[in-house]
Structure formats: structure tokens, C-alpha cells
Structure 1
Amino acid sequence: MKALQGVEGHVEWLDHPEPACDVGQVRIQVAAAGLNRADLLQRAGLYPPPPGASEVLGLECAGVISEVGAGSPWKVGDRVCTLVAGGAMAEQVVVDARHVLPVPEGLSLVQAAGVVEVYTTAWLNLFQLAALRPGEKVLLHAGASGVGSAAIQLCKAFGNPVWVSVGSAERLAYCEGLGAQGGVVRGDGLGGLNDFGPFDVILDPVGAKYAELNLKVIARDGRWVLIGLMGGKDAAIDLAQVLAKRVQLIGSALRTRSDLFKAELLADLGQQVWPLFAEGRLDARIERTFPIADAEEAFNELALNQINGKIVLVVNEGV
């Protein structure tokens, strides 16, 4: 089979051995795969897959099941999407059957390829780890990103007012169109967030650069969930504010979680979130698609930080 692999800072569509399908697994013929910032880091050699995971790029895909291992409830021909620790950007992928969800009602395979990672990330960090309650206020940094787009829609669906920080007025308007109450543009300064806070939960993919700001605008008993380090890893913070406000700082990484944890998380997602697609309350927000032959161009496009929502790589239109 062919698979996308990082080679000296770029990506190549190369021959790769077909994985075996074992007990409790399914083989998926991949139609399309979602592109995420983690893939950029892996291409650059900065984010290797966890031990035992495929070195092939890609954390999510959608397609049709072509083989079912013993003990799996799925059937050949089922249209599904899946979350993996690596290997999604390939003609085939073999996955733990518990990590598979049906394609949400109303979505194509291409659309479904871009929803699993972002909605899983948003659900895990806002509603499970931060235990977000109806009516609590949320701040999303990088609000127009794939995760931000999913998080805004989830907050709207579950009754949580949400504000964002973004890179442009156009991106702020995009977020407001999804349901955000408002926000600030980085170039205009982030101090305007004080007018909207304090925030009960902050979802932060930036890290050090926003640490001081987060402590200023977070509410008492607030939860600050750190999911990325786009703004650096070394920060000096005022621990007196952490104590006084009883702040919980939660570090979160999904890719390295256990198979059982992911299985339980995806089961919860399927019950709590997937029905909202059929109701029209959630959307895939696919901004651009690229054929797998143009994967390098797609990676470079994501690296520009100008995309609203998701980029999806189309692997096989015939699936």
C-alpha cells in the first residue's frame, strides 16, 4: 500500500507494508484523512509517535471497513471514521475496533475525516477534564482553528457562552458566525479580554506567551487547560494568583492516552456529541481539501495559520 511519511522535513507518498488485522481490530480502506498541527510537528521531526504506533502520518481518517477481526461488532462495508495515534494518511489503516465511530449522519466521508480529532479534543478538555457546567464562561485561544471551531459549536450546543482570541478581524467574524459571543484580535492587544471575563474555563494551545494573561482573566475556581505550546514552554507565573483564585492548571495530551481511555472517550463522544450532527447543531467546518498527491502543499497551507476550521487530504475518491 501507499502511505504518507515524513522525510527530512517534507512529506512523501511512499510504499509501506500493509498492516495485519488482528483480534479486536478492523481494516479501513481510507477515503480521506484530516490534517492536524501535530502532523506538522511530526513532519519536522519534533513529535514522534508513541511507542508501538505507526510512523505513518495522520491522526484521523474516514473510509469503509474492508476486514473485521474476531470480536469486533463492525461489518465489512460500514462507513466509519476513526482516531489513531498514527497511520491515518494511508490507503489502509488497521485500528482498534473500539476507536471507530460511524460517520455522523449527514456527513460525507471527506467531511467525516476532519471531525474526530477536533471534536474528541474539545469534548475531552472542556467537558470531561474541565467539567464545564451549563452557563459557565469559556475562553478559547486560536478560536478559528479546527479545535476552536469544534469547541465553539459544542459550547453553543451545551449552553456555554464563549469568547475567542484570533489572528484577524475576518477570523473573529468567522468565530462569531459559529456562535462565539465575541473576542479580540491578537494584533490589537489581548487586554480587551478583561472586558469579557472572568472566564471559568480557558482552553489554551499557546502556552507561555499567554500564561500571564490567562491568570489575569481566569475566574476563581477556574480551570486552565493547556493543550499546546505554540507560544513557548517557559513561563513565569504569579503563584499567589493561582492560590488566591484556586486555579486548576490541567496539562492534556490525547495522543499518548491508553487504548482503554480512548475507547471510553470515543464511546462517550458517540453518545453525547454525534447525534448533534444529525440535528444540524454541529458542522464539520472543512475549509479546504487537497488530493494526497498535493500533501506537501496542504501541510504548508496549514503552517501559514490562515485556515479557518480543517484541511482534509483526499486519499481515494473511489472509496
Structure 2
Amino acid sequence: MRYIAINEQQQLSLDEIDKPVISDDECLIKVRAIGVNRADILQKKGQYPPPPGESSILGIEACGELVAIGGLQTRWNVGDKVFAIVPGGAYSEYVKVKTDHLIKLPENLSYAQGAATAEVYLTAYQCLFSIADLQPNAKVLLHAGASGVGTAAIQLAKQLNCSVTVTVGHEDKVAACKALGADEAINYHQTDFVTWAEQQKQSYDVIIDVVAGEYVNKNIRVCALDGHIVILSMLGGRFAKNIDVAKMLAKRVNLHATTLRSRSNEYKTQLIKAFTQDFYHCLEVGSISPVIYQEYSWHEAEVAHQVMLNNENIGKLILTVD
């Protein structure tokens, strides 16, 4: 099969490799579309290796049709259209996936939309619900609100009638987040979100942060009593200086850090089951919908990566396999 390989100069090009061999608890997907994630770029640079024993090929989510099914299941059939998260291997014509991690592609979604759904909605659901126990009518602060996870989290939070504030870096992204339902959108180049929140007497029950660094203390300042701060990336740096522990104690702040890729198969199975029980019907009726910024041929993967590195995208970047 063809796949996207990485050379010694960290450049991408198509190459050939054997198809994956599936186990009894796995299925094989013929890939039609691939979701681009920052994990792909970090792995390409040698900064984020796949979990031990998993494929070294880039890519952690894919959408397509089942072409082979392991022997331990009866629910799925060859030809079923599905999407899924995978620990690696999605930048290829075929990728194997744990059968328990498959999600049926709703009839109203394209392959590209399926590839834009799994990673961002499962990550957003994990942060908001599994970790932070989001409640109806809560106040939510989302950093990088126009990112894939941000656009998914806005929609999930609004399903519970939460008040959602986002931070973004461009006026186009302000408009996009408000169109998705965000109540407030702050351009951090123009307005400091802590200053704004304190002027508005706002504090937040749940804060989702991809920045870290200096944002850790800033998040503590605007966190509500018994609030949850969930860190899932560190675009602003791995170290947070002079954390105000006294303020954390006074507010009883719950500070979490999480990744999804390295979680156990059992954890992912339960997460997928919970998300589909709570929100799959919303995908079917269109009350939540993945946001796609641009689709590229997988021959243009380098271009898509550069768009993400430049923080140009609103929502997801998709590679189509041709």
C-alpha cells in the first residue's frame, strides 16, 4: 500500500509498505480521508513518538470503509463506512483500528467530515465531561477557540446551554467562534483575557487550555470556586513560573493535564461509548458539525502542515486519499 513517509530531512513523500495485519479484535479501514493534527507535525519533527508497539506512520484519525474484520465481532460488515481515532498509521491507504474504537459514519457526513470528527470531539468531550464534569449552564473558557478542539468544544458546551468565552488570535476567528455559538470571543492580541474577565466580574467553572506556560497562572486568576482547568497542550511553553498555590487553595482549583493518544484501549473504548451515547444523535441531525477549514490531496500534506504551523486554520485540515 502507499503511505506518507518521512525522510531524514523531515520531508514527506509517498512510499510503499505492506498492509497492516489485523488481530481478532481489530478491523482494517480503506482510508478515504485523514484528519491533520499537531501530533503529526510533532512526530514528524521527532518530538512525539507513537505509543510503544504502534505504527510509526503519521496520523491519528481516519475515515473510510471496512475492508477486513477481525474474528471476535459480529456487529460490523465489510463495506461499512466508519471513522476512528488510531494510535498511528492513518497517513496511508489502509489503517488498522481496534474494533471497539469504530464509529459509524452518519449518512449526512462526508468522508472528509468523518475524518474531522473523531479526534477533536473525543478530546473536547474528554476534557469537558470525563475530566471536568461539565454541568448545564456552567461558564466555560476555551483557549484557541477556533482550533479543531476549540470549535468542537464550543458546540458541545452550547448543547448544555453553557456560557462560552473563547480566546483567539484574529478577528476572522472571533467571528467564526461567535457563529458557532460562543457568547464572548476575545482577540488576545488586543485584549488580555484576565483583565477583561475581572472587569466583567467573570469567573469560569471549566477552562480548557492548550497554551500552558504563563497561561497557567492567568487561568487560576479567572477560575471559579471548585473550578476545573484542563491542560492538553503547551504551545506557550512547558514551564509555568511562580504558580500561585495560595490562590489555587483558596479557590479549591482542580488542575488537570491530559493527552488522549497514550491512553489505554479500554479508556478509549469507554470514552467513545460515552460520547456516542451523549452526542452521536447530534451529529446525525446536524446540531453539532465538524468545522473544516480546507481539504487537501494527501500529496499536499506538507502544505497542510504549514497552514497549521502558521495558525491560519479555523477548525480542521483534511487530507483526501487519491
TM-score by structure 1 length?
0.97
2:102 to 76, 100, 123: 100
Shift in Å, 1:284: 1.4
Equivalent in the alignment of 1:126: 128
Tell me how far apart the structure 2 counterparts of residues 91 and 112 of structure 1 sit (CA, whole Å): 16
The one-letter code of the counterpart of 2:189 is G
Tell me how far apart the structure 1 counterparts of residues 197 and 108 of structure 2 sit (CA, whole Å): 36
Equivalent in the alignment of 1:143: 145
Structure 2 residue runs of 5 or longer lacking an equivalent are none
Segment of structure 1 superposing worse, 269-278 or 7-16: 7-16
Equivalent in the alignment of 2:42: 41
**Residues 1:71 and 2:55 are matched in the alignment:** no
On the 8 A contact 1:65/1:76 being kept in 2, the answer is: yes
The one-letter code of the counterpart of 2:225 is R
1:307 to 310, 313, 320: 313
Tell me how far apart the structure 2 counterparts of residues 180 and 85 of structure 1 sit (CA, whole Å): 31
Shift in Å, 1:6: 2.9
Equivalent in the alignment of 1:224: 229
On the 8 A contact 1:207/1:228 being kept in 2, the answer is: yes
On the 8 A contact 1:205/1:227 being kept in 2, the answer is: yes
Shift in Å, 1:9: 2.3
Change (3 A) 1:15 1:177: same
Shift in Å, 1:183: 2.5
Equivalent in the alignment of 1:233: 238
On the 8 A contact 1:204/1:226 being kept in 2, the answer is: yes
Provide runs of 4+ in structure 1 moved above 6 Å: none
Tell me how far apart the structure 1 counterparts of residues 235 and 266 of structure 2 sit (CA, whole Å): 29
On the 8 A contact 1:140/1:148 being kept in 2, the answer is: yes
On the 8 A contact 1:26/1:95 being kept in 2, the answer is: yes
Matches within 5 A, 1:146-295: 146-190=148-192, 191-194=195-198, 195=200, 197-236=202-241, 237-295=243-301
Shift in Å, 1:196: 6.1
Structure 1 residue runs of 5 or longer lacking an equivalent are none
Shift in Å, 1:279: 2.0
Tell me how far apart the structure 2 counterparts of residues 209 and 2 of structure 1 sit (CA, whole Å): 43
Shift in Å, 1:12: 2.1
Post-superposition Cα deviations, 1:72-106, rounded to whole Å, max 9, x if no partner, equal 22110100001101111110011110011001341
Post-superposition Cα deviations, 1:42-68, rounded to whole Å, max 9, x if no partner, equal 111111111011111111000000011
1:110 to 109, 112, 123: 112
The one-letter code of the counterpart of 2:247 is Q
On the 8 A contact 1:183/1:193 being kept in 2, the answer is: no
Identity among equivalent pairs (%): 39
Tell me how far apart the structure 2 counterparts of residues 267 and 196 of structure 1 sit (CA, whole Å): 38
Tell me how far apart the structure 1 counterparts of residues 182 and 44 of structure 2 sit (CA, whole Å): 32
Counterpart of 2:189 in 1: which secondary structure? Answer: helix
The one-letter code of the counterpart of 1:272 is D
Q: How many residues align?
A: 316
Equivalent in the alignment of 2:13: 12
Equivalent in the alignment of 1:32: 33
Post-superposition Cα deviations, 1:110-134, rounded to whole Å, max 9, x if no partner, equal 1101100000000011011000000
Tell me how far apart the structure 2 counterparts of residues 144 and 64 of structure 1 sit (CA, whole Å): 29
Tell me how far apart the structure 2 counterparts of residues 65 and 240 of structure 1 sit (CA, whole Å): 53
TM-score by structure 2 length?
0.96
On the 8 A contact 1:5/1:55 being kept in 2, the answer is: no
